[in-house]
Chains A and B, each alone.
Chain A
């Protein structure tokens, strides 16, 4: 293409992006078209990918496409396989994109659409995508070593241990909070519960099909499963209308929590082919299909966002979770902007498939941009709702009151119009008995998606769309729950194996049962507390998860910064150093406030003390007094957990500083563990199959 034409095109992209962002940022009208969000995101991503990512790849990492990757050098036809870049991209994206980018933006929408949207865009292009790309690169240069191993090899044993323990704890909290999201979506909803329950036998059937009936026919089996899932959504509606069957699936949150805990244990002990693997196929297909459908629907329909740019809750009084805009929007939206968990996929897993280093930009940076786009769509789906409706669905009963009339009065007093009739009509349209206080983000996202799908593809089936959206969220939340419990079990077996080698044998059944039970008890505890908490639990667990995930991101960025410095690239160390500094500020501030804030809706200790005082003076109603001791203990535990995260974070930071200090002083360092250059034999006859 002519050089000038290229320049003109990129200037046009930049202008369009700037216009779109100004439109989003400066809009103070009643509503704003969602197309501005899409345009802003597309332009920001395009510019960042074309210029920033390309510059990092060429000048900072100095990607060498003639160098053989581990997939080529260690090719064994099984886990190390040089693979077509689009296939690697697909695997990588499917692995990193879970329910996180859907839930976080929905919760953060309480501040208005603007803060979350800007953080998703800026955080992804300067933080998350950079983290994923450099981690992928460094792991590729180190025989696909995991983040923990790289931390140990390059920084020292402390960094390695921190990464390991951090990962384990995130897993526990993540599963608990995701379990809570599913419980809140199924609570007193026979339709949702029966549909989600049906996904289990369907997954097993698919598992049998591809294992025994037609071995290896993955696509056949999955297509069958997807059809059955769609039938399960319809069938759930039928069950909902059968008075005799309905009761079987109409349960309290606590009952559902116990069922999920039992299910989690069973899934972790069962062989993978029976439940986990087929469920993962189904969830991946449903996820990719639904996200594509949502993107098409938003572009076709161009819905309007009704949430204001900023709400009064930036002052910290928000009903969904307490805490000010800074730092809590950056904690609430982790996945979609920057997620430390991705570093675990980008190291260890993806590099084993990478055929050529030149694909690192597309896979590492590109896949994160796509996940960020999913987060933008979740933000749109949450904010197309009338703000009054959004708050009615997402505000816990402990904040707005149990009765519909009280909740409506409270939400109206904040200046958001909504009425009891409007909410009951909405619940009726969606085929639910009530949509009040359905915290956790899944129901409001499902209402948003249902209204978008309903307008784009026909309004007659709102209830069907709603429950399809719930099934879509639940199926891959449960996949994360299964997979996470299993990973937690492996990690625990690995750690305990150092003390008692027998327990480290992953196939020894007593060890499998014992360690699975420990992991399930860990997240089951937080899930239980979350369900009995009158404020909904999400307000406690989600920030804790955010802090933990950002802490892992900070560790990954420390490793990357340390390697950059050691490789003599100090002048470029800011590309990971800047997001690192920002994350450290955000995480430390959020942790400080979660521990020491006087506000009982923010500070864990303040909340524990307040509840203890109320319990002592006997002002609590009996049902609250009954659970109060557990809630007090949990708030204290959460405080200590937060302290632990911050200490781990700072230990790694100080260790990295020590490393950089030693480098500057010319002292000896741990050697760089990069594998020596070996020319690629695939480059010349590389066929894009």
Chain B
């Protein structure tokens, strides 16, 4: 039961983008070789880019 609640909460976080930064860090660590000397963005900086990108193009419908 506890596991299910946790899973549900994770899904909500993923859906809303609440964990987008954590996902980004994971992705960054995973592809470390590509960014040999780069540092990951700060949470603030990442969120800015993520939010601005999210709103380019058709994202909402009638």
Contacts and interface: CB of A to CB of B under 8 A. Distances in A.
**A and B held together in a complex:** yes
Interface of A: 75, 77-79, 81, 83-84, 86-87, 90-91, 95-100, 167, 174, 178, 210-211, 215-219, 222, 272-273, 276-277, 280-281, 334-335, 339, 341-342, 344-345, 348-349, 479-480, 483-484, 486-487, 490, 545, 549, 689
A215 B62 contact: no
Given A84-B11, A86-B11, A272-B52, A349 B59 contact: yes
Given A95-B59, A96-B61, A344-B61, A218 B17 contact: yes
B28 A480 contact: no
Contact of A87 (B11, B48, B62): B11
Given A87-B11, A272-B51, A487 B57 contact: yes
A349 B12 CA distance: 20
Interface string B21-39: 1011001100100000000
Given A99-B62, A210-B47, A216-B43, A490 B57 contact: yes
A537 to B, nearest CB: 17
Given A78-B53, A217-B18, A344-B61, 20 more contacts: A77-B23, A77-B24, A78-B24, A84-B14, A174-B62, A178-B62, A210-B47, A211-B51, A216-B43, A272-B52, A273-B52, A341-B62, A345-B58, A348-B58, A349-B59, A480-B62, A483-B55, A483-B59, A486-B55, A490-B56
B60 A483 contact: yes
A519 to B, nearest CB: 14
Nearest to A167: B58
Nearest to B15: A90
A513 B56 CA distance: 17
Contacts of B56: 490
Contacts of B14: 83-84, 87
A272 B23 contact: no
B29 to A, nearest CB: 10
B62 A339 contact: yes
Given A216-B20, A219-B16, A281-B16, A95 B61 contact: yes
B57 A348 contact: yes
Contact of B60 (A167, A217, A280): A280
Contacts of B52: 272-273
Contacts of A96: 61
A167 B44 CA distance: 35
Given A87-B11, A219-B18, A273-B51, A98 B61 contact: yes
B58 A276 contact: no
Contacts of A174: 62
Contacts of A167: 58
Contact of A273 (B48, B58, B60, B61): B48
A487 B56 CA distance: 8
Nearest to A100: B62
Nearest to B16: A218
A300 B55 CA distance: 38
B17 to A, nearest CB: 5
29 contacts: A77-B24, A78-B49, A78-B53, A83-B14, A84-B14, A90-B15, A95-B59, A97-B61, A99-B62, A174-B62, A210-B47, A216-B20, A216-B21, A216-B46, A218-B18, A219-B18, A222-B16, A272-B51, A281-B16, A335-B61, A342-B61, A344-B61, A345-B58, A345-B61, A349-B59, A479-B60, A483-B55, A483-B59, A490-B57
Most chain B CB within 10 A, of A81, A87, A211, A344, is at A87
A484 B52 CA distance: 16
A652 to B, nearest CB: 19
Nearest to B28: A77
A335 B57 CA distance: 20
Contacts of B27: 75, 77, 81
Contact of A487 (B11, B13, B51, B58): B58
B4 to A, nearest CB: 13
Contacts of B24: 77-78
A490 B59 CA distance: 13
B54 A689 contact: no
Given A84-B14, A86-B11, A484-B60, A277 B55 contact: yes
Contacts of B60: 95, 98, 280, 479-480, 483-484
Contact of B62 (A77, A280, A549): A549
B31 A215 contact: no
Contacts of B59: 95, 280, 345, 349, 483, 487
A-B pairs, 8 with minimum CB distance: A77-B27, A100-B62, A216-B47, A215-B44, A483-B60, A272-B55, A90-B15, A219-B18
A91 B15 contact: yes
Nearest to A346: B61
A276 B57 contact: no
Contacts of B31: 77
A486 B56 CA distance: 9
A689 B28 CA distance: 18
A219 B52 CA distance: 18
Q: Quick one: which of A77, A273, A487 has the most chain B CB within 10 A?
A: A77
Contacts of A335: 61-62
A222 B17 CA distance: 11
A215 B43 contact: yes
B55 to A, nearest CB: 4
Contacts of A87: 11, 14-15
Contacts of B57: 348-349, 487, 490
Contacts of B62: 98-100, 174, 178, 334-335, 339, 341, 480, 545, 549
